[in-house]
């Protein structure tokens, strides 16, 4: 899965012959899972049509401060808000960046919608120069390129090749595939969990009674899967060990290992633990299992039936005993004396952080789309969080870990 998936990309198109490449560029952004809004300078429409880019991006294309069809009617005119466009974007790309637009960006010359949006942008801004060889090598161009870099903008270097003038040399805008590769690589390097390996457990465990029955719980695994997806988005290499769950994984950065019982999850976690930086135990592991498993289906004969149970291995406590460099996170689902019980778990299991759920909170617990958690760290600092969708809770959990792990 591309790191561009889910990103909001604002593409600025300027008036150079390389503008024809932006049709392919938009298509590649969409294929990568990004959402694209296009702003065109008036001159760029001589090289590629707004209809083409609108069709490919599946969004209206902006060019003027006011929609052209309404310019004559001030009362009904629609203002294209450059500030809203700038704030919407996760990243902005100006491609092609002609020498004219380059000079405007370097000197703050705001004479069109694209420039107004650029000057309002708070996100990362990338630019892909495109001009003839002599223009590209001119001292003013070099000065403007340096200026933009000093402002914190990121240049996607021009490539060597045949130019519109018929000359061959440096100045050709990078090919769309190379622009996408540049962006993906740069974004990956900026991610806070790049280079980190994270072990996550999810779902319930099923403890067999006989070949057809088991002891389990109502956990679906959604919270663990959401944490895994968010960790992967933040650049981590993720190993997700999950008990029985209907959730699937479509992210190549996540290694999915499916298990059934607590013993199988214990073995997998101990096999992997030495090699990870962070372990997040979000699974709802059974506390007890049948002492004996019947080899054949138990028949319904007696009015009463009892099963002798024994404790399962405590995965989290066992990892806490052997941890060295790992940041260890546990979950606690409580119904009474929640804070006190969670603090005891931190001490007993040698945790760095615990994520507390209470079944007394409406909207929290198993089988829900939402969750309400409280963070308690090893210093017993308590931070309650509001009720949120589990996808947002996953972000909160990862942000909390990043803050504490790097503290």
Q: Is 124 helix (H, G, I), strand (E, B) or coil?
A: strand
Assess whether 109 carries a catalytic annotation: no
Cα separation of 54 and 216, whole Å?
Answer: 51
CATH 3.40.50.1950 fits 8-190, yes or no: yes
Closest C-alpha among 48, 41, 47, 46 to residue 112 = 41
Of 53, 158, 46, residue with least CA distance to 99 = 158
Q: How do beta strands 288-290 and 388-389 pair? A: unpaired
Residue 183 burial (C-beta neighbours within 10 Å; 0-12, 13-18, 19+): buried
Buried b / exposed e along 75-98 (16+ C-beta atoms within 10 A): eeeeebbbeebbeebebbbbbbbb
State the Cα–Cα distance between residues 342 and 308, nearest whole angstrom. 28
Catalytic residue (choose from 67, 81, 217, 251) = 217
Longest CA–CA span in the chain (Å) reads 94
Distance CA 143, CA 148 (A): 9
pLDDT for the residue 134: 86
The 3-state DSSP class for residue 140 equals helix
Neighbours of 245 (CB within 10 A): 18
pLDDT at residue 71, rounded to an integer: 46
* CATH 3.40.50.10300 residue spans of the chain: 197-290+306-405
Please write the tens of the pLDDT for every residue from 296-321. Answer: 998 887 778 889 999 999 999 999 99
Q: Measured between alpha carbons, how far is residue 113 from residues 84, 87, 223, 398 in Å?
A: 12, 14, 42, 37
Among candidate residues 282, 245, 285, the one with its CA nearest the CA of residue 371: 282
HSE of 49, CA atoms in CB hemisphere, 13 A: 3
What stretches in the chain show pLDDT beneath 70?
A: 68-79, 167, 359-361, 363-367, 406-407
Query: For 197-290+306-405, CATH number?
Result: 3.40.50.10300
Residue 380 has which token pair?
């017993």
* CATH 3.40.50.1950 residue window(s) in the chain: 8-190
CA distances from 387 to 243, 340, 358 (A): 26, 21, 12
Question: Residues 351-391: pLDDT tens digits?
Answer: 999 999 876 667 666 667 888 899 999 999 999 999 999 99
C-alpha to C-alpha distance for 331 and 226, rounded to whole angstroms: 14
pLDDT score for 190: 87
């Amino acid at each position: 899965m591309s790191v561009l998936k889910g990103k909001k990309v604002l593409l600025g198109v300027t008036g150079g012959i390389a503008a024809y490449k932006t049709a392919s560029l938009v298509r590649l952004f969409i294929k990568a899972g990004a959402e694209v809004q296009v702003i065109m300078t008036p001159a760029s429409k001589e090289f590629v049509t707004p209809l083409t880019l609108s069709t490919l991006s599946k969004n209206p294309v902006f060019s003027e401060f006011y929609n052209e069809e309404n310019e004559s009617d001030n009362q009904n005119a629609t203002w294209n808000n450059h500030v809203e466009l700038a704030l919407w974007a996760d990243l902005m790309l100006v491609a092609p960046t002609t020498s004219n637009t380059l000079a405007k960006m370097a000197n703050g010359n705001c004479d069109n919608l694209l420039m107004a949006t650029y000057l309002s942008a708070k996100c990362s801004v990338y630019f892909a120069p495109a001009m003839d060889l002599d223009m590209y090598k001119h001292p003013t161009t070099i000065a403007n390129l340096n200026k933009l870099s000093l402002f914190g903008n990121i240049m996607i270097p021009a490539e060597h090749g045949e130019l519109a003038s018929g000359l061959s040399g440096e100045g050709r805008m990078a090919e769309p595939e190379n622009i996408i590769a540049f962006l993906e690589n740069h974004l990956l390097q900026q991610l806070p969990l790049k280079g980190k390996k994270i072990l996550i457990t999810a779902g319930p465990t099923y403890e067999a009674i006989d070949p057809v029955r088991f002891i389990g719980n109502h956990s679906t695994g959604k919270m663990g899967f959401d944490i895994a997806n968010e960790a992967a988005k933040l650049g981590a290499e993720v190993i997700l060990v999950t008990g029985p769950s209907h959730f699937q994984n479509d992210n190549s950065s996540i290694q999915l290992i499916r298990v059934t019982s607590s013993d199988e999850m214990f073995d997998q976690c101990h096999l992997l633990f030495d090699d990870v930086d962070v372990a997040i135990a979000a699974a709802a592991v059974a506390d007890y299992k049948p002492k004996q498993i019947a080899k054949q289906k138990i028949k319904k004969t007696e009015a009463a039936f009892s099963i002798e149970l024994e404790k399962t291995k405590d995965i989290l406590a066992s990892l806490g005993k052997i941890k060295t460099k790992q940041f260890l996170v546990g979950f606690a689902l409580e119904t009474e004396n929640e804070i006190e019980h969670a603090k005891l778990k931190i001490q007993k299991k040698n945790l760095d952080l615990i994520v507390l759920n209470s079944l007394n909170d409406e909207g929290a617990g198993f089988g829900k789309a939402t969750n309400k958690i409280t963070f308690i760290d090893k210093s017993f600092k308590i931070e309650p969080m509001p009720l949120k969708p589990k996808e947002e809770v996953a972000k909160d959990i990862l942000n909390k870990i990043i803050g504490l792990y790097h503290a």
